[in-house]
Structure 1
Amino acid sequence: MTATPTHAAHAPEDHPTLPPARIGVLLANLGTPDNHDYWSMRRYLNEFLSDKRVIDYPAWKWQPVLQGIVLTRRPFASGAAYRSIWNTEADESPLMTITRAQTDKIATALNNRHGDAVRVDYCMRYGNPSVKSKLREMIDAGCQKILFFPLYPQYAGATTATANDQFFRALMDEKWQPATRTVPPYFDDPLYVEALAGSVTRACAGLDHDPDVLVCSYHGLPARYLTEGDPYHCQCQKTTRLLREKLGWDSNRIITTFQSRFGPEDWLQPYTVEEVARLAKAGKKRIAICAPAFSADCIETLEEINEEIRDSFVEAGGESFTYIPCLNDDDAHIAALLRQIDRNLAGWID
């Protein structure tokens, strides 16, 4: 049943009506360019690579390089990569398509439980729909309490923290701020691990062989972030361990690697693109690869893993390369996300 606008308590009859009080659940993913043309890519990359959480070099040192070199060349290469995976039917990136599908399933489940009392939507840290625009829509719809959910299983300053930063920045512009909560990382949640294990089991069941090695490829970070206190590396390692234990596999059949290196400094190792080549040369000719840090397939999985990293493996003598898709809107994944939402709505709603 849909609630109707009401007058504020003890207000005169001519007081403007207010929307009924609701709770908002705002899902947040990394982001996507509006299109794959040069200027769309340049706007997106400028916002992304200007984030101090992502590239923490001093602005006087980094911005001339970014504006004068990186944003002159990189939009062409990134645009071509996006073009190769673009959802042409919906005219959007796969990340947008999948995030919307996840949101729709979560919204349906919460609506079945709570009716119109909970409003669910999604936003992107970079690009559109922006955090600020979706926060404003929720407030206009009467959301006096908002749960902000960055869709990153493992915490990193460059992912979870920057999403939270943007949410809090948007709140700074609100005269009447809603009560807010943020969802913590869920890298070791049993339902999340079960969903990962289920995806691996199904993928392997469809093969005519057992993979020699399962590569768990996580997005990389500069190695110094670990010594500076970022827990990401440790949380990735634990996710892999829990996945191995759930599958019941030997430790030598599952490894942790890191992809998407950017810039000249050392990043978390081993690098996926180099490690798959090493495996092939060492006689591990049949591998499977999954990306547990990504809640939805995107440029880093559909293009980088399934094209660049695959090519590295094959060129080194590999024979069978199986990419296991992200959990996306799989029902087991949605159940895991819903449990995080339920836990963090405790005390706000029955």
Structure 2
Amino acid sequence: MEFPIVRPRRLRVSDAMRRLVRETDLLPRDLIYPLFVTNGKNVKKPIASMPGVYQMSVDNVLKEGEECLKLGIPGVILFGIPAYKDEKGSSGYDPDEAVQKACAALKKEFPTLIVITDVCLCEYTSHGHCGLIEDGDVLNDPTLDLLARTALSHARAGADIVAPSDMMDGRVGAIRSALDGHGFEKIPVMSYAVKYASAFYGPFRDAAGSTPQFGDRRSYQMDPGNVREALKEIEQDLAEGADMLMVKPALSYMDVIRAVKEVTNVPVAAYNVSGEYSMIKAAAQNDWVDEKRVTLEMLLSMKRAGADMILTYFAKDAAAWLKEDM
């Protein structure tokens, strides 16, 4: 049998050749770094289930913002650890709370850093759910006003992008209306349009203190078995004024990222969530995997699947590794 003329290995013979023909690249500018911000000063409290991640006061968040810019990471997303909680999550739209203070401080100190804020109530409610509760049920429509108030408070504090993650129907429209009605028509909405009821959120709930006090979130977050429903969600959010879309989690939902990318022409974000992060960290600490190689391969796969940007707790490490390899 005559040996084939075509030899795919010709294009793999060296690192330079592989770089030349590479179809997908991962760059620091593709990454967004999540930060947990709390009240006080000089606070940097380790999160046991997320090695290398901390609850931080605004002064330490500023140090993170500066480091991100030096690494080429264009933005951060803020999650709040409030001073108080109640049934309505009113600390979420308190102008004197941690997220609002962090927004203002980051934009004053680093005007070019993109500051995104998570818009939800679960970190701020005493019951840990993402909306108002009545007779054990999460109320959809009455929650929309509180979400809009929260987003508006973030915009007033200086946020560049607001990102609703609650999964209430109609929240994008309510937020868009509130922003536009108060002169913030230039602030984009990054909708967590496709957020699954996932077991991969466990470490985040530890970090944010947002574990539900009863029940679970399956009545408003998506069923992991559905893809067509994801396309319905993005269609609705785009119609309500979403500027960007997010799929969460990322690692087990690559097919969903691809499906969303194929039917939309707006930027698509993927959230490399806490459970995905902690699994790699735990395996690396036991020398079961090469943390750098596994992390960069995973993030590249998310980019290849269609993500234009990736929210990841690995952002700083990944950016540093990528710079080393340039």
If the length of structure 1 is used for normalisation, what is the TM-score? 0.32
Q: Which structure's CA Rg is the greater one?
A: 1
